[in-house]
């Protein structure tokens, strides 16, 4: 049910309650009078809500607005409940009281009486009605404020979530970059390790050759190489070859 429909229902209920209150007060006045006559001078009894019939009547908005424009009314009491309120006004020229109920500072219900007790009773009733009427609006104000606050918290948490998600994405990207760099560094280390082993082997070979040459150059013994060893060996073998090549003579041949 919408707020406007609730307000209209409440207004109708208040109109009915006010009418019943006025009707009940009119019916109760004769009983109160007879009771007052029987009790005599017992002044300690509580006064009646409405003193005499015909002293409470409805007044028009134009009537009270005219009196207010003429500055003929004195504000005695005013109560506010949300956008609703009730005022007790006094017309000193006519000794009359006006009790007005208003909404958003616009007069809504106006009761006129010549008795202060009746004026106080109606003002109290109007004040209680404004409390009930304003409760719906006050609840709506609190709920709206709570909804706005919750929406604000949701927006703040969504922004925080986005910031955390962005930071997490950046961290993941950095972690991937670091992992890639680590992998490349490991591959480079493996390559450099293999190259280092090969270089160490070459170094060992060169150092061995250097030491051998150094030892050879540092040897005081003179070692001369053989001169033409292949030529002398050919000269020694030549006579034997010549003997083998001489022809054999057959006996009887010239």
pLDDT the model gives residue 244:
54
pLDDT single digits (tens) 116-131? 999 999 999 999 999 9
Cβ burial 43-60 (10 Å sphere, 16+ → b, else e): eeeeebbbbbeebbeebe
Neighbours of 247 (CB within 10 A): 5
> The tokens of 142 are what?
């609190």
In order of 55, 85, 86, 100, the CA distances from 59 in angstroms are 12, 17, 15, 9
pLDDT single digits (tens) 1-27? 444 434 444 344 444 444 444 444 343
Give the pLDDT band of residue 175 (cuts 50, 70, 90). Answer: very high
Q: Which helix (H) or strand (E) holds 109?
A: strand 106-113
pTM of the model: 0.45
pLDDT single digits (tens) 35-77? 333 333 333 333 333 434 446 788 888 888 899 899 999 999 9
pLDDT single digits (tens) 90-109? 999 999 999 999 999 899 89
Unique residue bearing structure tokens 């090969």: 198
Q: Residue 33 pLDDT > 60, yes or no?
A: no
Mark out the alpha helices in the chain (DSSP H runs): 3-39, 61-69, 116-218, 229-245
pLDDT the model gives residue 16:
46
Distance of CA 152 to the CA centre of its chain: 6
Unique residue bearing structure tokens 């919750």: 150
In order of 150, 153, 154, 168, 172, the CA distances from 164 in angstroms are 21, 16, 15, 6, 12
> The tokens of 232 are what?
């002398």
Calpha distance 140→19 (Å, rounded): 29
Cα atoms in the Cβ-side hemisphere of radius 13 Å centred on 234: 4
């Amino acid at each position: 049910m919408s707020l406007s429909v609730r307000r209209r229902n409440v207004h109708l209920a208040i109109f009915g309650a006010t009418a019943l209150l006025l009707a009940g007060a009119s019916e109760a006045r004769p009983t109160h009078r007879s009771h007052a006559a029987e009790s005599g001078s017992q002044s300690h009894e509580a006064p009646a809500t409405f003193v005499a019939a015909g002293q409470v009547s409805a007044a028009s908005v134009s009537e009270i607005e005219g009196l207010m424009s003429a500055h003929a009314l004195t504000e005695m009491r005013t109560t506010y409940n949300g956008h609703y309120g009730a005022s007790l006004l006094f017309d000193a020229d006519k000794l009359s009281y006006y009790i007005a109920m208003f909404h958003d500072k616009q007069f809504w219900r106006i009761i006129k009486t010549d008795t202060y007790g009746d004026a106080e009773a109606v003002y109290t009733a109007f004040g209680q009605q404004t409390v009930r009427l304003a409760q719906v609006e006050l609840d709506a104000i609190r709920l709206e404020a709570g909804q706005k606050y919750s929406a604000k918290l949701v927006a703040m948490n969504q922004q925080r979530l986005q910031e955390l998600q962005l930071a997490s994405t950046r961290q993941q990207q950095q972690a991937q970059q670091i992992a890639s760099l680590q992998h490349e560094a490991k591959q480079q280390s493996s390559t450099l390790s293999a190259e280092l082993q090969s270089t160490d082997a070459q170094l060992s070979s060169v150092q061995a050759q250097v030491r051998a040459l150094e030892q050879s150059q540092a040897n005081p013994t003179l070692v001369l190489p053989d001169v033409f060893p292949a030529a002398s060996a050919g000269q020694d073998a030549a006579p034997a070859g010549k003997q083998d090549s001489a022809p054999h003579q057959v006996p009887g041949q010239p």
